């Protein structure tokens, strides 16, 4: 339902990688409640990492970081750097995992700013938990994901008794 958010993938990224990153981002966004994206102006995918963190796969720029309109930056160079590019299926899986984990993590940062409900010391921990939660929702949408999570729940319930 949040298809009107702007997703801008740099031409250099489109030329370099065969993945349709915009499509995969929009697919990932399907499980994110619309109100968590309020005031988020855009999602940018560029090749180079942000200046303040050369290892970052993504970064959130809110009002505190000086952005007039909050946005998320994803960095293709780091997202794709550790893939076995000679193994296309493994690369595709790894790419989807990293992309979703990073995107949901940064949306988690946006959400905590919107709600003001999280102390600064807990921002990272909270964003990680937010990402895990969203990934879980997303994988439950697919048949294979449902089986994996169904099994995990089954064994957890056994362990609990």
Residues that bind Zn ion (CB under 5 A): 127
Phi-psi region of 116 (alpha: psi -120 to 50; beta: other; left: phi over 0): left
For Zn ion, the closer CB: 59 or 91? 59
Phi-psi region of 7 (alpha: psi -120 to 50; beta: other; left: phi over 0): beta
Secondary structure (DSSP) of 115-146:
H--S-GGGHHHHHHHHHHHHHHHHHTTSHHHH
Q: Where are the beta strands (DSSP E) in 5-96?
A: 6-9, 42-46, 58-61, 71-75
For Zn ion, the closer CB: 17 or 101? 101
Least distance (Å) between residue 46 CB and Zn ion: 18
Least distance (Å) between residue 4 CB and Zn ion: 25
Least distance (Å) between residue 70 CB and Zn ion: 14
For Zn ion, the closer CB: 96 or 118? 118
For Zn ion, the closer CB: 16 or 133? 133
Residue closest to Zn ion, measured at CB: 127
Least distance (Å) between residue 74 CB and Zn ion: 13
């Amino acid at each position: 339902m949040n298809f009107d958010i702007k997703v801008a993938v740099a031409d250099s990224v489109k030329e370099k990688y065969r993945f349709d990153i915009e499509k995969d981002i929009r697919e990932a966004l399907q499980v994110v409640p619309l109100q968590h994206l309020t005031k988020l102006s855009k999602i940018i995918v560029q090749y180079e990492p942000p200046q303040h963190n050369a290892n970052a796969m993504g970064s959130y720029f809110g009002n505190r970081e000086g952005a007039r309109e909050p946005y998320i930056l994803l960095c293709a160079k780091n997202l794709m750097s550790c893939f076995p590019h000679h193994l296309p299926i493994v690369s595709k899986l790894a790419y989807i995992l990293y992309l979703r984990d990073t995107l949901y993590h940064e949306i988690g940062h946006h959400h905590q700013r919107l709600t003001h409900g999280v102390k600064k010391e807990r921002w990272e921990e909270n964003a990680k938990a937010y990402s895990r939660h969203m990934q879980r929702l997303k994988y439950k949408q697919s048949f294979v994901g449902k089986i994996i999570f169904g099994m995990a729940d089954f064994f957890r319930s056994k362990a609990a008794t």
